[in-house]
Structure 1
Amino acid sequence: MTSEPRAGMLLVATRGLEDPNFAESVVLLLDSDEDGALGVVVNRPSPVHVADVLEGWRDVVGEPDVLFRGGPVSPDGALALGRPQDPGAPPVGYREIVPGLGVLDLDTPVELVEGGLGDLRIFVGYAGWGPGQLEDEIAEGSWHVVAGRVADAFSVAPHDLWRDVLRRQPGSLAWTSTQPADPSLN
């Protein structure tokens, strides 16, 4: 486990994080520097199908083909994460975050993207922190900061991702995946 937040890392909510926006969440950091941090919650699918809101993207997104709740900031906006089919020739509108994973501009015409991505997921809203805010939350024990995998952003079982990410960690951190939400009920 590391404690340095940077692009590509995962923030895994601890049991002590009581904010309902982030309880048992896994946040993929897209950017983190002295000006703050930005990420998306990757394990919160919504019941809204992409086709119901962004018809043109219906055949490009992966399963599940729903919008994901990326976070409480800017809930009227959307951003997309993608994995290029050919990392050496990503599609138009794609900006790499870490090797094999990037943000796709949803204003890009779909026909310029089709076939260029192996995976695409669309997030409504995002998670954001001001300067020093995320570091303070990590220091107070709200987040585990762990290495991410590109596949985490496209999990076909997003409801299991919090537990799965914790289970693959070394040492006692893996054990926390089995703790009940309220230990006093145990």
Structure 2
Amino acid sequence: MISESSSESDWRAFRARLVANHRNNDALRRSVRDARWAHGLECVERGALLVAVDEDSSSFWSHVVILMLDHAAHGSTGIILNRTQSWTLEKHCPEIMVHRNGKYWDALANDVAGVGGPVGLAAPRDRSVIALSTKPQIGMTEEVVPGIHRVINLEKLAKMNSKLTGPNTLSPEELSLFVGYSGWAPGQLQSEIDAGYWTLAAASGAFIEDCMFKHVMDTIIDPTGKRVPIDAHGFQAWATTRELLGM
């Protein structure tokens, strides 16, 4: 059986090497060797990154790096990787404790969750919780890019002890939770790209993981004694991505 990521891993890394050689870009060549690469793209594809051009810190979309989960005729969806309020899933979604299912929510409720986007973020009835994993689970995840997998059934994952205990345990570093997502109607995203709102990029799974809120933000102790992120707005991940893209 061919693994979930074997063929795609080869062609995406191969394309990155071609881009580096075509552009005679030594920095990109080095990043490809380190498996932490990113380069510009012409067309939207599943697993692409949208890098915000907007630098207005008052805008919701300023400094965001979005991972595209789906791009099709019916529309597009993605997850903001680098934005958090340093809230646990339970604080984001207090209603989950009312409808907890055994150890399912107990296992996830205290995990810090990122802000994936404005859709499904606020209204409890329409709240969306999305999880990304760096570890594939057969029947429970689908690959976005090699090394990054979307959890398609959080409850099943927990019931199979993949989050709790056992041989398939996912550590906190391997599972990232997001509340809300970013969505576009058919043709809307391309119109925004054409208007110059977004820079489009391909990136390796390792680079995408580095962009995630829980991996890029150092923390400090605030005056109340609580540990809080220094860069909750995600500026560093955004700046690093732009730098690698030569922007």
**Quick check: TM above 0.5?**
yes
TM superposition shift of 1:125: 0.5
Give the one of 119, 127, 131 matched to 2:186: 131
TM superposition shift of 1:32: 0.7
Give the one of 227, 233, 238 matched to 1:162: 238
Kindly indicate whether the alpha-carbon contact (under 8 Å) linking 2:55 and 2:63 is maintained by their aligned counterparts in 1: no
**Structure (1 or 2) with the larger CA radius of gyration:** 2
Mapped to 1, the partners of 2:129 and 2:63 lie a distance apart of 22
Q: Secondary structure at the match of 1:48?
A: strand
Residue 35 of structure 2 is matched in structure 1 by none
Residue 32 of structure 2 is matched in structure 1 by none
Per the normalisation by structure 1, the TM-score is: 0.76
Note closer, same or farther for the CA distance 1:153–1:51 as it changes in structure 2 (3 Å cut): farther
Mapped to 2, the partners of 1:80 and 1:165 lie a distance apart of 22
Q: Structure 2: any 5+ residue segments left out of the alignment?
A: 1-39, 94-104, 122-126, 218-233
Residue 43 of structure 1 is matched in structure 2 by 82
Q: Secondary structure at the match of 1:73?
A: coil
* Aligned amino acid, residue 216 of structure 2: A
Residue 64 of structure 2 is matched in structure 1 by 25
* Aligned amino acid, residue 33 of structure 1: A
Q: Pick which of 158-167 and 68-77 moved more.
A: 158-167
TM superposition shift of 1:20: 2.3
**1:72 and 2:118 are equivalent in the alignment:** yes
TM superposition shift of 1:49: 1.9
Kindly indicate whether the alpha-carbon contact (under 8 Å) linking 2:119 and 2:181 is maintained by their aligned counterparts in 1: yes
Note closer, same or farther for the CA distance 1:146–1:19 as it changes in structure 2 (3 Å cut): farther
* Aligned amino acid, residue 71 of structure 1: G
Higher helix share: 2
Residue 108 of structure 1 is matched in structure 2 by 156
Q: Secondary structure at the match of 2:41?
A: coil
Instruction: Give aligned pairs, total.
Output: 162
* Aligned amino acid, residue 145 of structure 2: V
Q: Structure 1: any 5+ residue segments left out of the alignment?
A: 60-64, 174-186
Mapped to 2, the partners of 1:153 and 1:72 lie a distance apart of 21
Higher strand share: 1
TM superposition shift of 1:147: 1.0
